[in-house]
Amino acid sequence: MIIVAFILVIGVGVFGSDETVRAEIYFYFDAEDGIVGDELPHHQSGGGANFCQTECSGLGTRATYQSIGSVPQGNQYFQWETVESQNNHYCEIKNVGVFPIENILGKTLYLAFYMRFDRKDENDIWLEGGGTQSWDKGIEMRGNGVRWTVGWGQWDKCDGSYSPGFAANQDHHFTIGSGNPTYHLPGSEYNPNLNGYSCQNPPQLTYERWYALILGVNMACDTTGSRTLWLNGVKIAESTGIQTTNDCFPDIDHITMGGTLAQPGDSTAHYRKFDALILTDAWHDIVDGGYLSDPEGGSDITPPSRSDPQPTGTLTSGTTSTNVSLTTNEIATCKYSETAGKAYDDIPNTFSSINATTHSQTITGLSDGNTYTYYIRCQDTVTPPNQNTDDFNISFSVANAASDTIPPIRSNGFPQGEIEAGTTAQDISLMTDEDATCRYSPIQGASYAAMTNFSATTGTNHTTEVTGLENGLTYTYYVK
């Protein structure tokens, strides 16, 4: 007898004698430990956070601890007060105990934070015109071969080109995006591309309001990486199968914040408020930190208002498809049903444009003489979302085809006269002035129903073969 004995050792994430794979919070700052009014630390040694401004040849005023008004987490946030028309005034966040962060290839790093921009004297901070460069490279993770940023304002590029650019911001609004300055790696454009957002329909953010943003980058020096941006828990931009580092030995050696202004130089003086800035490679830190929800979700308890139903009235005969559409007064996702009274969650059909203010959907299978009614309900993007509890109707009909009381005109009957002796079979034919189905009979006065169909008919040329012909006889065929 042979006895085989073994011991099974399971090692989790062990690469060597002292190297283990683990999730890690690399940097976190929430301003709770500071004294309101004091400047953020900028000269600490060891493991402390350093918001380096003038020490890094930067310009502008330093950030301070504040506690005025609402705060997404805790009781305090940190704030920069900008001056008018200044640009390229960055703040570098360094930490001797953390940076540089190495061995990041293949990892997904998440840079998340809460932000809010407050105007002075109600003057909008960024320009609003479409195709306008009024963009701030706001917060970035930077290092060897790495530069990924979350920016805001009004962007003049779309899909990597200068034309047509982002659509114009709504009045008193700004937009956001993420990109890869310096390296401009393929697939890293700023434009949003998910959940109804695009260059033509960018997110619209308001001033004097907190937002949660998450930038997730899977680090790859080949085309296996990805970039994702979330706004208040909604995924608004994603690129997959892309190169995300310009070096196969990347690291992160600091975080850059456009504290007093990154660019451009056209902004008015204002306040920049931030809270709970985190850099981590663990998704659960993002979930636990509340970054996947709207920090002001509880302030909106009103469902979307719906207007401008299209189409209305009667569509022309022959219409087999049409676009149905409506407008909402806020970003929303709308659903439609052919049955009235269904709750939003029970409606099976969603408009193709989601998380938008203009909603459209192509409806097919229409036919003449019918009336169509669609019952619409929408929900907004707050947490929990506000849903319509009443139906908004889009109703229209398709006209009947115009009645035709004139029968087809027949012409060019063939053959006429005598045909060659010995012929036993012959094609007979005619033409009509419109599409028709023709029948024939050798009996004069026979009803259409009693006649025989032409073998080739339904168009305007009609042909069939008659057989059994004999010499010396006359044959007459009557056609209807």
109-148 residue pLDDT tens: 999 999 999 998 888 888 887 777 788 888 999 999 999 9
Cα 350 from Cα 360, distance rounded (Å): 10
pLDDT in tens, 339-388: 999 999 999 999 988 878 889 999 999 999 999 999 999 998 776 678 88
Number of H helices, E strands in the chain: 1, 28
Clarify whether residues 248 and 363 are in a common domain. Answer: no
Domains identified in the chain, total number: 3
Cα 477 from Cα 202, distance rounded (Å): 71
Which strands form 439-441's sheet, in the order they lie side by side?
452-453, 439-441, 478-479
Q: What is the mean pLDDT of the chain?
A: 84
Name the token pair of 461. Answer: 């040329």
Clarify whether residues 168 and 216 are in a common domain. Answer: yes
Clarify whether residues 290 and 417 are in a common domain. Answer: no
Q: Given this model, what pLDDT does residue 55 score?
A: 54
Mean pLDDT calculated for residue range 400-427? 88
> Residue 414 in contact with residue 463, Cβ under 8 Å?
no
Tell the residue number behind the tokens 């943003």, with chain if given. 213
Clarify whether residues 193 and 340 are in a common domain. Answer: no
Mean pLDDT calculated for residue range 431-437? 91
Of 344, 375, 398, the residue at which a domain comes to its end is 398
In a domain, 73, yes or no: yes
Clarify whether residues 42 and 109 are in a common domain. Answer: yes
Element holding 284 (H helix, E strand):
helix 283-288
Name the token pair of 394. Answer: 């889009």
Single-letter residue type at 115: M
Clarify whether residues 316 and 385 are in a common domain. Answer: yes
> Residue 350 in contact with residue 337, Cβ under 8 Å?
no
In a domain, 288, yes or no: yes
Q: Given this model, what pLDDT does residue 268 score?
A: 84
In a domain, 2, yes or no: no
Q: Given this model, what pLDDT does residue 58 score?
A: 52
pLDDT category, 454, cuts 50, 70, 90?
very high
Of 299, 314, 343, the residue at which a domain comes to its end is 299
In a domain, 404, yes or no: no
pLDDT in tens, 213-270: 999 999 999 999 999 999 988 888 999 999 999 999 999 999 988 766 666 666 788 8
pLDDT category, 463, cuts 50, 70, 90?
very high
pLDDT category, 6, cuts 50, 70, 90?
very low
- Residue 4 has, within 13 A of its CA and on its CB side, a CA count of 1
pLDDT in tens, 85-113: 666 777 888 876 788 999 999 999 999 99
> Residue 226 in contact with residue 244, Cβ under 8 Å?
yes
In a domain, 82, yes or no: yes
Element holding 316 (H helix, E strand):
none
pLDDT category, 49, cuts 50, 70, 90?
confident
Clarify whether residues 388 and 444 are in a common domain. Answer: no
Widest pairwise Cα distance in the chain: 122
User: Is 37's pLDDT higher than 90?
Assistant: yes
In a domain, 110, yes or no: yes
From the centroid of its chain, how far is CA 7?
Answer: 53
- What CATH number did the domain enclosing 228 receive? 2.60.120.200
In a domain, 111, yes or no: yes
- Give the residue numbers spanning the domain of 375: 306-398
Clarify whether residues 211 and 324 are in a common domain. Answer: no
The model's pTM is 0.61
- What CATH number did the domain enclosing 380 receive? 2.60.40
Name the token pair of 426. Answer: 């012959």
CA torsion, points 327, 330, 335, 338, in degrees to nearest 10?
Answer: -40
Clarify whether residues 271 and 128 are in a common domain. Answer: yes
Clarify whether residues 352 and 471 are in a common domain. Answer: no
Cα separations in angstroms, 80 against 62, 66, 83, 260, 477: 7, 10, 10, 6, 98
Clarify whether residues 254 and 319 are in a common domain. Answer: no
Of 375, 398, 421, the residue at which a domain comes to its end is 398
Strands 108-119 and 270-280: antiparallel
Clarify whether residues 415 and 385 are in a common domain. Answer: no
Mean pLDDT calculated for residue range 3-10? 26
In a domain, 4, yes or no: no
Strands 392-398 and 314-315: parallel
